[in-house]
Structure 1
Amino acid sequence: MSHPSSFAIDLPTGLVQRAQRGEASAFEQIYRRFERPVFTLALRLTGEREEAQDVLQDTMLKLFDRIGEFRAESPFWGWLRQIAVNEALMRLRKRNRLPATEDADEAELESHDVMLPPAAADAALLGQALAKLPDATRSVLWLYHAEGYTHDEIAGLMGKTASFSKSQLARGTRRLRDLLRIDSEVHSHA
């Protein structure tokens, strides 16, 4: 059920090279194409619009600073997404909102335990439900389901173990199911 990342945008040939040469119009085109995926990712990870706006600005500033470092062997969108994820997680860390301790309950997961419920297809409901989760849990869920990161990759990004990522995913999926079940029942009776 893994969706392609919303970042998976193909850029016109030569656009990145033009930006690397410092062409303002090339940067502007890259910004316009990636503004929404970066903002959405930041909003899902931080849970706050204002903070997501800051992450978007910081990500794009870093992009301007570092575009010279980009090497074309990997897709550009993957490289930019990495910057955005790091920026968002850094903000959570600054506010001490990522738990410092390892999560002890190592949940052995059945694959159906980590499938999102059908109501998750409703973006508004999903957004409301995700906002109720703890930051680390929400971040893991989004990186895993929406962005297709593996548990090892998430562990690396968050400075945790893969088992931390797995248990957050299991816990978050269960909680999200409960929240979405309640929400969709409320909506269906309305």
Structure 2
Amino acid sequence: MSPPSSFAIDVPDSLLARAKRGEATAFEQLYRWFERPVFTLALRLTGQREEAQDVLQDTMLKLFDRLGDFRGDSPFWGWLRQIAVNEALMRLRKRNRMSIDDEASEAELESQDTLLPPTAADTALLGRAMAALPDVTRSVLWLYHAEGFTHDEIATSMGKTISFSKSQLARGTRKLRAQLQIDTEVTVHG
């Protein structure tokens, strides 16, 4: 058995059973347990609070409708997280179809500064650099580095190929390094 993920959220089987029977208090408890993790994931993927809130609501509605489909052969949070990722990616695809320009405007970048807590200058700088990336590239970086998705999982979620995921990760990493002016050369002193 593999060790639990650092992102694992244990849910008592009794709570899931009560929710499957339609108990409103059990659904309310599940909502409270997963509201913050789903919202945070959606915010990281979409980069916009309003869309993250919409993703949260849509995810929870799907949880309500599809809880009977959860068989328990995988962790509950992994199952729910996949629903949230799919909802966020669907919104990004819709936004990209409607958007003429992939680059965020200065006003959007300034408004997104408030998304990250001002704990350190580096965190804020990274947040601005991530916000400046195209939606798809930012999503791949976040899913890979923060959520621990494999390239195969990212490709499947996005309906793309593994090489697409790898190229977006490489492209995003290069753009972040350039924006953050990170020197990738290592000098060995001997």
Partner residue in 2 for 1:117: none
Q: 1:22-41 to 2 correspondence within 5 Å?
A: 22-41=22-41
- AA paired with 1:28? E
Task: Note if 1:63 corresponds to 2:77.
Answer: no
Partner residue in 2 for 1:44: 44
Partner residue in 2 for 1:80: 80
More deviation, 57-66/25-34: 25-34
How far, CA to CA, are the matches of 2:17 and 2:50 in structure 1?
32
Scaled by the length of structure 2, what TM-score is found? Answer: 0.75
- AA paired with 2:177? R
Aligned-pair CA distance for 1:5 = 6.1
Aligned-pair CA distance for 1:7 = 4.5
- AA paired with 1:32? R
Task: Note if 1:130 corresponds to 2:130.
Answer: yes
Task: Provide runs of 4+ in structure 1 moved above 6 Å.
Answer: none
Scaled by the length of structure 1, what TM-score is found? Answer: 0.75
Aligned-pair CA distance for 1:154 = 0.7
How far, CA to CA, are the matches of 2:176 and 2:31 in structure 1?
32
The unaligned stretches of length 5 or more in structure 2 are 99-119, 183-190
Aligned-pair CA distance for 1:127 = 2.8
How far, CA to CA, are the matches of 1:176 and 1:5 in structure 2?
27
Partner residue in 2 for 1:92: 92
| Structure with the larger RCO, 1 or 2 (CA within 8 Å, 6+ apart) | 1
* 1:53-91, Cα deviation, whole Å (9 max, x unpaired): 100000001100110110111110010001000100111
Task: Note if 1:17 corresponds to 2:17.
Answer: yes
The unaligned stretches of length 5 or more in structure 1 are 99-119, 183-190
How far, CA to CA, are the matches of 2:50 and 2:6 in structure 1?
21
Structure 1 residues 6 and 123, CA gap change in structure 2 (3 angstroms): farther
Aligned-pair CA distance for 1:6 = 6.7
Structure 1 residues 9 and 172, CA gap change in structure 2 (3 angstroms): same
How far, CA to CA, are the matches of 1:33 and 1:124 in structure 2?
27
How far, CA to CA, are the matches of 1:46 and 1:6 in structure 2?
23
How far, CA to CA, are the matches of 2:83 and 2:125 in structure 1?
27
